[in-house]
Amino acid sequence: MSMTHDLDIFLVATPGLETPLSAEATQHGFAGARIVPGGVSCTGDWSEVWRANLMLRGANKVLVRIGSFPAVHLAQLDKRARKFPWSDFLRPDVPIKVEATSRKSRIYHAGAARQRIDGAISDTLGAAISPEADLRVLLRIERDLCTLSIDSSGEPLHKRGHKTAVAKAPMRETMAAMFLRECGFEGTEPVLDPMCGSGTFVIEAAEIALGLAPGRSRSFAFEQLSGFDKAAWQAMRSACHPSESPLQFYGSDRNTGAVEAASANAEQAGVAEHTRFQHRAVSDIKPPPGPAGLVIVNPPYGARIGDEKRLRSLYGSLGKTLMNRFQGWRVGVITSAPALARATRLPFLPTGPFVDHGGTKIRLYRTEILQ
């Protein structure tokens, strides 16, 4: 695993959040970061792959392209796969899971293509092939070109590794971080979430303000690769020094269980001193003492018929409370229903793209500073 080689690195985005992920990658100095279908592509050596996993808040996965070759039938794929230098990347003692897709290619049977790669890896490298393996090799055949990649992350990156309690219908950490970015949050102002659930927005905001690396508490699949330099990786991790912040980040929820879960999660994440969670209804929220900042909220959307009326009054009450009490603050509301967003009567700016939240199309509605 040579550290000097410039690799094609692909950052997988949540559909609809490619733009903030690209901005984040650029801000962190990843070379040649640009939006491509499905995410953001950039280049760098293996240490940049590690850094992307450790530092980027918006990427769901970090994939690394390890090679490509043309193949028009299975025998050709088999032959080329057996010549591929697997030992440059994979270890014989670490099990592998292979996944394959095929589009617009003469090799159209992805399952048969996957079996050829399985065979090549187990025969030439001696590694076990297992559907349960943590390390994934991905084969993509597109227009007769076979591209091989490694998923360097392992578990999806929204699993930060320090969150235990999850409320129902949680907002993924990666999405929460990108919505905060879209609202212009840079860690220099307080954030308040009046329907905080398990505290994701509040905890992400506190971590951003404190400069905590999102991947600091977990392990990654790249640690299982051939030639992985453990000492260099430890040095990179310990070079991340959190900064000080005078700010507090606030969450409240009418559900006591959510407040307890959020407090426990903030404790696990090491941001308990910078977060405050309270049990209260939306109509009872007030701006905390200190500077104005951002109110961000992901209220329920309601899938069932009959929810609409009740939810409209909830959104109406939220909007009224914010207009009456939160002058000087900006607001971001994430919802799937334009009618519910309108029910707040908040002065929203033009909306951005739809974002795919586990099959539901949601959108961020944001305001300028409330007058």
pLDDT tens digit at each of 371 positions of the chain: 445 569 999 999 999 999 999 999 999 999 999 999 999 999 999 999 999 999 999 999 999 999 999 999 999 999 999 999 999 999 999 999 999 999 999 999 999 999 999 999 999 999 999 999 999 999 999 999 999 999 999 999 999 987 776 656 678 999 999 999 999 999 999 999 999 999 999 999 999 999 999 999 999 999 999 999 999 999 999 998 889 999 999 999 999 999 999 999 999 999 999 999 999 999 999 999 999 999 999 998 876 656 888 899 999 999 999 999 999 999 999 999 999 999 999 999 999 899 999 889 999 999 999 99
Indicate the domain borders of the chain: 7-151, 173-214+249-366
Strand runs (DSSP E) across 211-255, as ranges? 249-253
Q: Does domain 7-151 have CATH number 3.30.2130.30?
A: yes
Instruction: Return d(Cα 190, Cα 201) in angstroms, integer.
Output: 12
Encoded tokens for 206: 């506190």
3-state DSSP assignment of residue 26: helix
The mean of the pLDDT values for the chain is 95
Residue closest to 292 by CA, chosen among 365, 368, 211 = 368
The CATH number of the domain covering residues in 173-214+249-366: 3.40.50.150
- CA 316, CA 312: separation in Å to the nearest integer? 6
d(C-alpha 294, C-alpha 326), whole Å: 10
What DSSP character marks residue 366? E
Cβ partners under 8 Å of residue 135, min gap 6: 90, 94, 95, 96, 97, 150, 151, 154, 221, 224, 225
Question: Cβ atoms within 10 A of the Cβ of 75, count?
Answer: 10
Give the residue from 68, 136, 146 showing the smallest Cα distance to 108.
Answer: 146
Output the pLDDT for position 140. 97
Residue with tokens 């187990």: 122
Q: Let me know if the fold of 7-151 is the same as that of 173-214+249-366.
A: no
CB 63 within 8 A of CB 151: yes
Contact (CB, 8 A) for 185 and 38: no
pLDDT at 166 (0 to 100): 66
DSSP state for residue 364 in the 8-state scheme: E
Residue 69 β-bridge partners = 146
Sole residue written with tokens 């996944």: 99
